[in-house]
Amino acid sequence: MAKIVLVTGASAGIGWAAAELLLREGWTVYAGARRVEKMRPLEALGARLLPLDVTDEASVSAALAAVLAKEGRLDALVNNAGYGAHGAIEDVPLAEARRQFEVNLFGLARLTQLALPVMRGQGGGRIVNISSIAGKITMPTGGWYHASKHALEAYSDALRLETAQFGIRVVLVEPGPIRTEWDNTALVNLEKYSGSGVYAPLVRRVTEKFRAGYRSGAPGPEAVAKVILKALQARRPAARYPVPAKAALIIFLKWLLPDALLDWGIRKALKV
């Protein structure tokens, strides 16, 4: 019997790649996103499409209800929806900062709250939260995004400990630089909020470094999709899966080096 999975943020990037790979592996995939029309090619591959805005209670409830009405169970939830509200902390309006948390943390948390009783009742399930190495290491002009992912890391750790007793496994996937549409949104927001004013020189240098990093052989979202599949299939999944290897190295250096040395390196690289 095919396993049932709901993937959020499936209209592009990592969510799309994960939905496509899971379909090929024989899963029954429910793909959720605000931009339903962009998911039509996934529908042609066999995905069931759901209009899903993770910041809207009615939308979240209706999406999960649709899955349960058709399938009667939910074996896995891939919480992928997210974006980057980049800009200097001084410049980004608090309304935008709150929206960052609504999308990257609270929307995910509400959908998870609704899914947990279902998984507990069926004797188990798996929840994969797409975090980022940005939850472990912080760069200037990304403070609100980093804060939301750092919060997701702590949230997932607590959730993993709470739900293991019910056979529910909670896994974090921590991508590093990946070639997706995500960077365009982040850089648009960066320019919007801090492209002029006292932080503009820093923004130009961050943008240059950001684009250079993506041009230097960063993998596509398919690399993350493979790790998501591994996390879903592993009998005893790890708590965290950094991807690619460069991400694991960055996390290791964050653990190894004192903050003062990391600050010096980042400031030197960005001429801050």
Euclidean distance between CA atoms 128 and 170, whole angstroms: 6
179 phi and psi, to 5 degrees? -80, 100
Transcribe 93-161 into DSSP letters.
-HHHHHHHHIIIIIHHHHHHHHHHHHHHHTT-EEEEEE--GGGTS--TT-HHHHHHHHHHHHHHHHHHH
Helices first, then strands: H and E counts in the chain: 11, 7
SS (H, E, C) 216-236: CCCCCHHHHHHHHHHHHHCCC
Q: Which of 30, 83, 145, 199 is catalytic?
A: 145
User: Is 145 one of the annotated active-site residues of the chain?
Assistant: yes
From residue 153, alpha-carbon distances to 60, 158, 247 in Å are 22, 9, 15
Would you name the residues annotated as active-site residues?
145
